[in-house]
Amino acid sequence: MKQIAWIITIFLLSSLIGTTASSTLQVGTGIADATGEVAQVNFMGYAMMNQVGAGLHQRLRARAYYIDDGTKHIAFVSVDFGMGSHVVKARALELLQQDNITKNIFTFDNVCVSGTHTHSGPAGFMNHLLFQVTSLGFQKATYEAYSTAIYNAVKKSYVNSKANGKNAVIKRNAGMLSNANINRSPTAYLYNPLEERERYGNNTDHEMVLLRFENEKGEGIGMLNWFSVHGTSMNNTNQLVSGDNKGYASYLFEKSKNAKDVLPGQGSFVAAFASTNLGDVSPNTNGTYCMDTGLPCEPVHSTCNGKNEMCVGRGPGTDMFESAKIIGERQYVKANEIYESANKIVSGPVDFRHTFIDMSNLTFTRNNSTGPDDVVHTCPGAMGYAFAAGTTDGPGMFNFVQSTTTSNPFWNAVSDLISKPTKAQINCHHPKPILLNVGELTKPYEWVSSVVPLQLFRIGDFFMINVPTEFTTMAGRRMRERLANEIMSLGLSKTPTVVIGGLSNMYGDYTTTFEEYQAQRYEGASTIFGPNELEGFIHEALRLVNDMATNSKSKTLPSPEIDLKKMINLLGDWKYDTVEIGKKFGDVTKQPSKTEYKKGETVSVSFRSANPRNNLKTDETYLTVEILDEKSNNWIVVATDGDWSTKFHWQRNGKLSHSSTATITWDISAEDVAGTYRIKHFNTHKKIFSGTKLDFEGTSNVFTVVG
């Protein structure tokens, strides 16, 4: 008996040693402030001209994960912004290259920049014209803010990987979350073959796939997960910069893992809720209703009395802040549960492949299960009519495309450049009726991308296919399944996990299945490279898998050219700030309405302020909520503008006025302790004529919180 016990012990020990030996990974995590201009700049996502920033609810972050097997390394970055951008990635790589610590380590090939797809972040960071129309062009300050954040986060993750030791560990887990998403084009989903749909229980993916990162001491240093849901809990009336439901989930996760007094964005534990195949997936789980009648919308066209403007998705909260909170919380709770129970070790090798492909002109043989294989091709980019209708998460966008003269000066300047589609182009996109024939436009610069990136990451049995578009639920399932089969048949892995890194590296709109495309809802109309786009992407992804399996280089076109000198901007800079004669910047114009507050109440204070575009306050804050420490008589910061409980509203004191007001609100929660508090505001004003920038601050009267 004793001998058997020994044999078992030795066997167990050797298997443990085996695991450790094969998982010699160096991993690091890093977080950086990505908040761009929170005022005046249009938000990316809904393409609503009047949805411009008027303050900040929650700072945006870039979260990076560096993984190195001693031979090869990759960095995955999830950013609280609309989507990956080629110019932002290029600029971040340039900054990494200029830094002696990170020089010659990062390239287009081994870095992935994926957008969380929040629709409440500043726009103007993309080099393609179509995505600049509502932001009145390219916004340099916001572009720099995003790029610098990616650079900082990647650098931190790289530096931290050295400190985390040579035997760091990644663990994998997955779990089901069924009440945090809904299909917003269910009638298009029904176009997919019945037998295919029957293999899946739902018309959205409910699985959350997660990686847990530990240093070699076994301490948790980070979490990264993928779950399909749009960043559209905050609707197109929101004017406060926000990470939406995923930003809130990250905030909660990081708060729970970092020390209690650590302020948002300052802790070493990094938790990203990354985007994946969310193309047709909405967080508005109550479904769609008509704003005027309160009745459900007509389902096929998502209209109310024939009009799309009135039909919007709702819930699960009573307002958008509550909805974002609930959907974020549900993702956080599930992620925390599967993070805590994660135990499947992901070991090396680390590998990657990257290619730039011309999606406007890709010809390939399509495997046809029901007949002979056929040769098909993609088309130069074009938007269908349903694109103008928008979605039930944000109806009626791009209404300016209906006429050539609108209140949008940018559109007026460029609309007559639009070309008429040729017969071949019309046939190629059939049955999509072409509204905007953008793919063949290169003046004053490209309107949409033709050459797009596709990237494959590998960590042992874990594979990420990083796509530049919004794949729908079924499109994503097909991609994952086809890749997993190929990975197995080529012997790369017997039990691969494949995830889709959504909206990565560049933006090329949506990707539906061939069948969903026939329905021509918003997602099909926005599948800009035509009905065979998904098959084209799968064909190219399989090529990358093959290259990886045969250890060969992947063929690629050169990186698309970047010329920022050509970029148009009609918004212009903010020139100067003024304050009423005899008054000072930072003066309180509205004190707390009471001297004593109960938990659950909201405090509101207003200050004479200036345009926050003067100073992005990167890694700083526009506000603090402070409590008086009775013992030391010091004021301790308990909340900043990175907290969900605070809001910073900015408003000009008249339409053309250069004097402005900042209103700061703080929601007192049950966890806040009783005591004496004050609220402070920090900002920078710009002097008239000289343009000199001067910092100022303001402090409210003290008030107490009881109970």
The catalytic residues are 282
- Looking at the Cβ atoms of 283 and 530, the one nearer to Zn ion is 283
- The least CB distance from residue 230 to Zn ion, in Å, is 6
Part in contact with Zn ion (CB under 5 A); list of ranges 172-180, 464-472, 481-489, 659-667: 464-472
Residue with CB nearest Zn ion?
A: 470
- The least CB distance from residue 704 to Zn ion, in Å, is 45
> What whole-number distance in Å separates Cα of residue 308 and Cα of residue 495?
45
> What whole-number distance in Å separates Cα of residue 617 and Cα of residue 498?
38
Token digits of residue 379: 């088309």
- Looking at the Cβ atoms of 86 and 678, the one nearer to Zn ion is 86
570: which residues sit within 8 A by CB, 6+ positions away? Answer: 136, 137, 409, 410, 413
384: which residues sit within 8 A by CB, 6+ positions away? Answer: 429, 432, 433, 434, 435, 520, 524, 525, 526
- Looking at the Cβ atoms of 69 and 523, the one nearer to Zn ion is 523
Terminal CA-CA length for the chain: 64
Size of the site for Zn ion (CB under 5 A): 1
Part in contact with Zn ion (CB under 5 A); list of ranges 204-212, 417-425, 432-440, 467-475: 467-475
Angle at which helix 140-163 crosses helix 86-98, to 10 degrees, equals 50
Token digits of residue 358: 């011309």
CB 700 within 8 A of CB 586: no
- Looking at the Cβ atoms of 117 and 613, the one nearer to Zn ion is 117
Part in contact with Zn ion (CB under 5 A); list of ranges 59-67, 216-224, 466-474, 622-630: 466-474
- Looking at the Cβ atoms of 470 and 533, the one nearer to Zn ion is 470
CB 279 within 8 A of CB 183: no
Q: Quick count: other Cβ atoms within 10 Å of Cβ 115?
A: 29
- The least CB distance from residue 67 to Zn ion, in Å, is 28
Name the phi and psi angles at 424, rounded to 5. Answer: -60, -40
- Looking at the Cβ atoms of 82 and 496, the one nearer to Zn ion is 82
- The least CB distance from residue 169 to Zn ion, in Å, is 34
- The least CB distance from residue 354 to Zn ion, in Å, is 23
- Looking at the Cβ atoms of 46 and 696, the one nearer to Zn ion is 46
CB 547 within 8 A of CB 73: no
Token digits of residue 669: 């929660």
> What whole-number distance in Å separates Cα of residue 556 and Cα of residue 356?
5
> What whole-number distance in Å separates Cα of residue 25 and Cα of residue 265?
26
Part in contact with Zn ion (CB under 5 A); list of ranges 81-89, 149-157, 465-473, 639-647: 465-473
Site residues (CB under 5 A) for Zn ion, limited to 470-509: 470
Part in contact with Zn ion (CB under 5 A); list of ranges 72-80, 351-359, 469-477, 632-640: 469-477
CB 648 within 8 A of CB 638: no
CB 533 within 8 A of CB 527: yes
- Looking at the Cβ atoms of 116 and 378, the one nearer to Zn ion is 116
Write the single-letter amino acid at 486.
E
Part in contact with Zn ion (CB under 5 A); list of ranges 73-81, 434-442, 463-471, 598-606: 463-471
- The least CB distance from residue 51 to Zn ion, in Å, is 15
Site residues (CB under 5 A) for Zn ion, limited to 51-90: none
- Residue-wise DSSP of 638-665: EEETTSTTEEEEEEESSTT-S-EEEEEE
- The least CB distance from residue 246 to Zn ion, in Å, is 13
Residue 379's closest CA among 450, 482, 313? 450
Q: Note the helical H segments in 508-559.
A: 514-519, 522-525, 533-549
- The least CB distance from residue 313 to Zn ion, in Å, is 13
Summarize as ranges the residues that interact with Zn ion (CB under 5 A).
Answer: 470
